[in-house]
Structure 1
Amino acid sequence: MPKRLLIFLFLLATAVPIFAQKKDRFEQICERTSVVTSHKNLPQAFKTADSLYIAAKKPLEKVRSLILSSELYHYTGEFKKAICYSENAHSLITQMNDQEWLAYISRLLAKQYRQVGLQERSRKYIVKGLEASLKISDPQKRNEMAGLLNQEMAYYDIELGNYTNAIQYIEYSLKYFERINSQREDRTVAASYQLLGDVYFKLNDYPVSESYYRKAEKLLREGSCILGLVYNGLGGIRLKQENWKDAELYLKKAEKIADTSRSLKLKKAVYSNINDYYEGVGDDFKASLYAVKYVRAYDSIAARNQVLGIKDLESPVNKNGKKSGQLNMAKNTAIIILFISLVGLIIFFRTKQKRQRSKLRNIIRTQLRPITQKSVHIFKPSHDFEFANISVEEVAEKDSEADKRRNDSLMTFETESKLLELLEDFEKGKLYNNKGMSLSFLAGELNTNTKYLSYVINQHKSADFKTYINRLRINYIVDKLINDEKYRQYKISILADECGFSSHSKFAAVFKAVTDFSPSAYIKYLDAEKSN
């Protein structure tokens, strides 16, 4: 063969794949983004999908990029956005005569509407997809799409409790899959077997159910979401048979897949069965843990179902479907008690926090008044002396009821008025911060006796001596914290020393008794008020 002819044949052989690669480049980028990039770098996958839509020159390329965005949002659990993109793709494809893509998008919408609980909308797209699938010219693709759409119809009937119809549609799907000569269909065939296992389980035919689960298991790879449903089904059968050991084995396998899966349906089913398992073996603590997990998955599904703001008007499932899909009475009771307790705790702590904040604001408002307008006492009188019994070594003297009665009869009105004026002058100073402050010390400073002083404080300050001094000290330090920012930077021990307390702990105890806040919490609140 001449040398030139060989070169020509070589160039021809290499040019065809290169041309084909260039021709299918858009499709290759879409496929790579969906399969590879979405798992490694999801934000980059979204950017690629947007770029593909902008770069698309043909209507079909726009459709493909919209479907890619829909699949990515579906993968992240944003079903509203996923459906919006699918609907846009459907609007475009209906303007084109491409039955293959019309069937594909119809099946995608049917699946998405099913997963948000809109069964009738799902069925509408199943019917539309089946009609389009019959017009697909390629036998392989026609049979594949018809099989998948029959699967979707089976899901629809299972939700309604029409198990006989569901079995019929699953068998149709298997017949279509048998006509496809491809190893890639193992997963879709396994999904049909898993569905049959679920249906026969609901019909209480456990041997037949297990046989179909086993068929599905042989076709699936480790970690598959469908395999998780298979293990959960096998675990459910063992629960019904009260074979606790084997039930635990299968449910552990199912849980391992569920914990790493994005499928809320799988999580809900697995956590429900594990809850039943622990109830069966008498472990109420672990049963309650999985009851909470079940409720979270259930609530997530409910929230997802309401994301479009559309009421599902489909028919309710029959009694058997309801019974199998609900927790037993004990489980529901445990969940209700758990939630009521949680709500009660939240309300309690929020109410307490609100009261504390209200009290603190009142303190701050009082402190921010001009000095001439301030009342001597910024705190309400406490008739039960809630903090009077706190041990502080610097004020130790006690007064008795007998002393009060005696002083009441001996003290003249002029002496009482004079002593009250002296106390008001005392409050305007800082002498109360003296660490050696005591009843006898103050009596000496005011040139009176302890009995008279004790009587006036009790009668006019609505407190005993210890409470009175503690209030003045905390009043002083609160004023400093509000009006002098540098005090907020001091350590608590320095603040304690500043107002006459001998230790950090005594100061903190009295401060909290007066304000309902610890010193550090009070300082944080002041800083937050300032920033606001």
Structure 2
Amino acid sequence: MMNYYKIKIIICFCMSKNLLKFLFLLATAVPIFSQKKNSFDLICERTSSVTAYKDLPKAIKTADSLYMRAQQPSEKIQCLILSSELYQHAGELKKAICYSENAHSVINQSSNPEQMAAVTRLLARQYRQVGLYERSKKYIIKGLEASGSITDFQKSNEASGLLNQEMAFYEMEMGNYSNAIRFIESSLKYFERINSRNENRTAAASYQLLGDVYFKLNDYPVSENYYRKAEGLLKVGSCTLGLVYNGLGGIRLKQKNWKDAEVYLKKAEKIADTSRSLTLKKAVYSNINDYYEGTGDNFKASLYAVKYVRTYDSIAARNQSFTMKGTEIAKGKISKKSGQMNGVKNATIVILFISLVGLLLFIRTKQKRQRSKLRNIIRAQLNMISNRSHYPLKQSDGSEFSNISVEEVDEKDSETDRRRNDSLMTSETESKLLELLEDFEKGDLYNNKGMSLSFLAGELNTNTKYLSYVINQHKSADFKSYVNRLRIKYIVDKLINNEKYRQYKISILADECGFSSHSKFAAVFKAVTDYSPSAFIKYLDAGNQSGKSVHFPEND
């Protein structure tokens, strides 16, 4: 009997032990399951923050494979957002926007405010970078509505802060600096309410943006104060820090503090050269060009002018590529993802891009018509100036507006000398010289910085006296005025027909048409057209925007 009870006790003990094990396994199953559920998020995060910086192509492939493995709509959206961010990091904005639009299309059916806020902010930034500011604003407004519906307090405030930042960028592009300041201050209030590892970086971006706004308002002490705040929150090497150093360098340039300007601009250049950001490169190269112009090193100034122009052209080419080929949705792997969506979603995306391109083509056609009207007005004015009996260049010291750097020849021949030259020159020679000058005017040899009377005489196989006589008699100008007039006509034609020239610095325009300095070019330009280069460009842009004839007021 005793043995029976012993056996029963042992069995109960074993059962209790197994029950405890079972309960333990049941208790730990939930967190283990949760970890497995969250592993997808962890892989996405690791791909975005680590793999992308080490091996971008590998990160893109990882994002593609994650999409194929995704089961839930929210996971698919997460992968599309990840792919968009990676392509944006690679500088392929057209593909990035395609992925973002795909994600936006899926979210519209899932009603996830957190993901809607993330995608709309991404689209707002991407459309801003390609110059489609109104479309960017549309997504900002939609994102702000979504951020108010996010239940998580931290995420709601972070999304609202970032979207207010984007709205500030929009207002800056529109020139509404007071509105920009208001939105930046709102973003900072939202960031103060959150406690995340991104807080410093997001707040620093707002301070850097405030520095830019006050710089444009010429309030340099306030601008520097905000740049310093941003600097204190940023890690070494970040793109935003590059913009901060560039801003501080720009302030020193305005103050003509060349030594400190060089220090900050070197730091900014170091970051820009290793960055993929064309916007940062463009801003830094522009300031360094100004620095070398200010210190009188024209050779280095020209080197950075070339870097600036190349970067500007890269941005323009990227934007043009997007606007002209917006109907093309990226093929290959993205087509596999789109294939899993139904036909209605794909049709919606195609219609969206076709509508966008149609709108852009309409705007471009309208702009061409406006430019044509404006061109006729300006050319009529230039022709009127060209037909004046005396060319209106001030000749007080004989070289004020001249850019002739080689041999100078006295062109102020007496009436007796001119009659003598006339008698020695046959009518055939005079006609031939006029034909050669017409060919000369059709080219761009006059933009040569080494152009002089003796140089051109050598090119035309004649002598300086004959050439000087023909120019004076038939072009109603001396040689210097004649060449400068051709140069200004050349650059005016570029400004009218090619909008990118209106974005160039005045010093670059001067170099393009053979002038050795900004000041000489500006003086000759005003003497020929009656307007300064900046005023001329301003009214060209105003004419394009208004669609009306431009009436130039007197230029003070």
| Alpha-carbon distance between aligned partners in 1 of 2:263 and 2:100, rounded to the nearest angstrom | 40
Deviations 1:385-408 (A, max 9, x none): xxxxxxxxxxxxxxxxxxxxxxxx
1:277 and 2:291 are equivalent in the alignment: yes
CA contact (8 A) 1:271 1:293 kept: yes
1:81 to partner: Cα distance: 0.7
CA contact (8 A) 1:173 1:192 kept: yes
| Alpha-carbon distance between aligned partners in 1 of 2:123 and 2:189, rounded to the nearest angstrom | 24
Q: Secondary structure at the match of 1:95?
A: helix
| Alpha-carbon distance between aligned partners in 1 of 2:27 and 2:299, rounded to the nearest angstrom | 69
The counterpart of 2:165, out of the listed 142, 148, 151, is: 151
Equivalent residue number for residue 510 of structure 2:
333
Deviations 1:349-398 (A, max 9, x none): xxxxxxxxxxxxxxxxxxxxxxxxxxxxxxxxxxxxxxxxxxxxxxxxxx
CA contact (8 A) 2:309 2:504 kept: no
Q: Secondary structure at the match of 2:276?
A: coil
| Alpha-carbon distance between aligned partners in 2 of 1:332 and 1:63, rounded to the nearest angstrom | 47
User: Which of structures 1 and 2 has the bigger CA Rg?
Assistant: 1
Deviations 1:326-362 (A, max 9, x none): 5542232225559xxxxxxxxxxxxxxxxxxxxxxxx
1:32 and 2:209 are equivalent in the alignment: no
1:218 and 2:245 are equivalent in the alignment: no
CA contact (8 A) 1:123 1:153 kept: yes
Residue identity opposite 1:167 in structure 2: I
| Alpha-carbon distance between aligned partners in 2 of 1:204 and 1:238, rounded to the nearest angstrom | 12
Equivalent residue number for residue 114 of structure 1:
128
Residue identity opposite 2:509 in structure 1: N
| Alpha-carbon distance between aligned partners in 2 of 1:270 and 1:13, rounded to the nearest angstrom | 58
Residue identity opposite 1:34 in structure 2: S
Correspondences of 1:234-313 after superposition (within 5 Å): 234-308=248-322, 309=324, 310=357, 311=360
Structure 2 regions of 5+ residues with no counterpart? 1-15, 325-356, 368-498, 516-556
The counterpart of 1:202, out of the listed 216, 229, 237, is: 216
Equivalent residue number for residue 474 of structure 1:
none
Q: Secondary structure at the match of 1:262?
A: coil
| Alpha-carbon distance between aligned partners in 1 of 2:20 and 2:50, rounded to the nearest angstrom | 39
1:107 to partner: Cα distance: 0.5
1:16 to partner: Cα distance: 4.2
1:172 and 2:186 are equivalent in the alignment: yes
CA contact (8 A) 1:288 1:335 kept: no
1:79 and 2:256 are equivalent in the alignment: no
CA contact (8 A) 1:140 1:179 kept: yes
1:42 to partner: Cα distance: 2.3
1:41 to partner: Cα distance: 2.4
CA contact (8 A) 1:292 1:335 kept: no
Equivalent residue number for residue 523 of structure 1:
none
Instruction: Specify whether residues 9 and 188 from structure 1 end up closer, same or farther in structure 2 by C-alpha distance, changes over 3 A only.
Output: farther
| Alpha-carbon distance between aligned partners in 2 of 1:221 and 1:241, rounded to the nearest angstrom | 27
| Alpha-carbon distance between aligned partners in 2 of 1:196 and 1:5, rounded to the nearest angstrom | 64
Normalised by the length of structure 1, the TM-score is 0.59
| Alpha-carbon distance between aligned partners in 2 of 1:10 and 1:216, rounded to the nearest angstrom | 50
1:43 to partner: Cα distance: 2.4
Q: Percent identity?
A: 71
Deviations 1:129-174 (A, max 9, x none): 0111111111111110000000000000101111000000001101
| Alpha-carbon distance between aligned partners in 2 of 1:103 and 1:272, rounded to the nearest angstrom | 35
CA-based RMSD of the aligned residues comes to: 2.4
Q: Secondary structure at the match of 1:57?
A: coil
| Alpha-carbon distance between aligned partners in 1 of 2:505 and 2:319, rounded to the nearest angstrom | 23
1:244 to partner: Cα distance: 0.2
Instruction: Specify whether residues 326 and 206 from structure 1 end up closer, same or farther in structure 2 by C-alpha distance, changes over 3 A only.
Output: farther
| Alpha-carbon distance between aligned partners in 2 of 1:56 and 1:113, rounded to the nearest angstrom | 28
| Alpha-carbon distance between aligned partners in 1 of 2:227 and 2:21, rounded to the nearest angstrom | 57
Instruction: Specify whether residues 337 and 112 from structure 1 end up closer, same or farther in structure 2 by C-alpha distance, changes over 3 A only.
Output: farther
Instruction: Specify whether residues 67 and 328 from structure 1 end up closer, same or farther in structure 2 by C-alpha distance, changes over 3 A only.
Output: closer
1:54 and 2:231 are equivalent in the alignment: no
| Alpha-carbon distance between aligned partners in 2 of 1:30 and 1:333, rounded to the nearest angstrom | 51
Residue identity opposite 2:243 in structure 1: L
Q: How many residue pairs get matched? A: 329
Residue identity opposite 2:138 in structure 1: K
1:199 to partner: Cα distance: 0.2
Equivalent residue number for residue 102 of structure 2:
88
CA contact (8 A) 2:208 2:227 kept: yes
Equivalent residue number for residue 405 of structure 1:
none
| Alpha-carbon distance between aligned partners in 1 of 2:234 and 2:23, rounded to the nearest angstrom | 44
Residue identity opposite 2:224 in structure 1: E
| Alpha-carbon distance between aligned partners in 2 of 1:337 and 1:32, rounded to the nearest angstrom | 53
Instruction: Specify whether residues 24 and 337 from structure 1 end up closer, same or farther in structure 2 by C-alpha distance, changes over 3 A only.
Output: farther
Instruction: Specify whether residues 3 and 164 from structure 1 end up closer, same or farther in structure 2 by C-alpha distance, changes over 3 A only.
Output: same
| Alpha-carbon distance between aligned partners in 1 of 2:503 and 2:260, rounded to the nearest angstrom | 23
1:30 to partner: Cα distance: 1.4
Equivalent residue number for residue 37 of structure 2:
23
Correspondences of 1:445-524 after superposition (within 5 Å): none
Instruction: Specify whether residues 19 and 197 from structure 1 end up closer, same or farther in structure 2 by C-alpha distance, changes over 3 A only.
Output: same
1:142 and 2:129 are equivalent in the alignment: no
Deviations 1:205-226 (A, max 9, x none): 0000000000000000000000
Deviations 1:37-81 (A, max 9, x none): 222222222222221222221111111111111111111111111
Q: Secondary structure at the match of 2:321?
A: coil
Equivalent residue number for residue 126 of structure 1:
140
Deviations 1:464-503 (A, max 9, x none): xxxxxxxxxxxxxxxxxxxxxxxxxxxxxxxxxxxxxxxx
Deviations 1:2-56 (A, max 9, x none): 9889867865675444222200122122111112222222222222222122222
CA contact (8 A) 2:290 2:301 kept: yes
Residue identity opposite 2:309 in structure 1: V
CA contact (8 A) 1:272 1:290 kept: yes
Equivalent residue number for residue 489 of structure 2:
none
Residue identity opposite 1:330 in structure 2: S
Residue identity opposite 1:41 in structure 2: D
1:181 to partner: Cα distance: 2.2
1:102 and 2:116 are equivalent in the alignment: yes
| Alpha-carbon distance between aligned partners in 2 of 1:236 and 1:290, rounded to the nearest angstrom | 15
CA contact (8 A) 1:291 1:335 kept: no
Instruction: Specify whether residues 337 and 31 from structure 1 end up closer, same or farther in structure 2 by C-alpha distance, changes over 3 A only.
Output: farther
Instruction: Specify whether residues 6 and 253 from structure 1 end up closer, same or farther in structure 2 by C-alpha distance, changes over 3 A only.
Output: farther
| Alpha-carbon distance between aligned partners in 2 of 1:274 and 1:203, rounded to the nearest angstrom | 21
Residue identity opposite 2:166 in structure 1: E
CA contact (8 A) 2:165 2:187 kept: yes
Residue identity opposite 1:26 in structure 2: F
| Alpha-carbon distance between aligned partners in 2 of 1:37 and 1:102, rounded to the nearest angstrom | 25
Instruction: Specify whether residues 249 and 3 from structure 1 end up closer, same or farther in structure 2 by C-alpha distance, changes over 3 A only.
Output: farther
